Amino acid sequence: MPWNSPSMISGLQSYFESISANDVDEAADKIAELYAASAITVQPTIFFTVPLALNDASIIAQGFSTSFKAARELKDNISADVWLPAASAIVAFWVDVMLNPLVPPPGGTLGVTNTVLVPGLPSPLNTDISDAFSVTDDPLLTATKLNAAFLNHLSTVTGLWAGFAPGLPPIPFPFPWVGLS
């Protein structure tokens, strides 16, 4: 099962419509919670395997909290740079994440490792997050755009499955992959 967009969007929309959405730390925690719940189901776009474990979602909460507080201070002069802490936190969340190596990619048989090597970049993710939060009067549109920002970023995450291909003796087989979905 890939990234759970329906759950992410409905969860964000419900939260943004709630009264407690004005608490920046609580909002950051909710985004992190929903992100982690959807992230556990991602898989490389070319073969079906999932993360064995993820980094602590508090990384994401801290990044969004920092960005929300900066945005509150700036009020009407919010640039995409305000969202760099949030975007950088999402990138940090993917550092060294291991995916299940036992599920081989096309041509592979026995896996040894499957690691995220490049966790994406904070830009243009920060611009996409800025675009999502520029819509303040429509919780569904904000949630949809924020989900799209996350998906755009996931398409830039890359990794390497390393294992063996069929043969006697087994042939070492590195399989680079690009993008999570």
pLDDT digits (tens, 9 = 90+) for 54-70: 999 999 999 999 999 99
The residue ranges of every structural domain in the chain are: 5-178
Q: Is 24 helix (H, G, I), strand (E, B) or coil?
A: helix
Check residue 76 and give its pLDDT: 77
Q: Is 78 helix (H, G, I), strand (E, B) or coil?
A: coil
pLDDT category of residue 123 using cuts at 50, 70 and 90? very high
pLDDT category of residue 74 using cuts at 50, 70 and 90? confident
At residue 32, does pLDDT exceed 80? yes
Check residue 20 and give its pLDDT: 63
Mean pLDDT lowest among 67-71, 72-76, 95-99, 159-163: 72-76
Q: In what order do the strands lie in the sheet with 171-178?
A: 110-118, 158-165, 171-178
Calpha distance 10→167 (Å, rounded) = 48
- Identify whether the C-beta of residue 1 lies closer than 8 Å to the C-beta of residue 41: yes
At residue 19, does pLDDT exceed 80? no
Check residue 13 and give its pLDDT: 95
Q: Tell me what the mean pLDDT of segment 107-124 comes to.
A: 96
How does DSSP classify residue 105? -
- Identify whether the C-beta of residue 177 lies closer than 8 Å to the C-beta of residue 47: yes
Check residue 136 and give its pLDDT: 75
- Count of beta carbons in the 10 Å neighbourhood of residue 114: 27
Calpha distance 180→170 (Å, rounded) = 28
Check residue 23 and give its pLDDT: 86
Q: Which two tokens stand for residue 85?
A: 């802490």
At residue 156, does pLDDT exceed 90? yes
> Judging by beta carbons within 10 Å of its beta carbon (0-12, 13-18, 19+), is residue 47 exposed, middle or buried?
middle
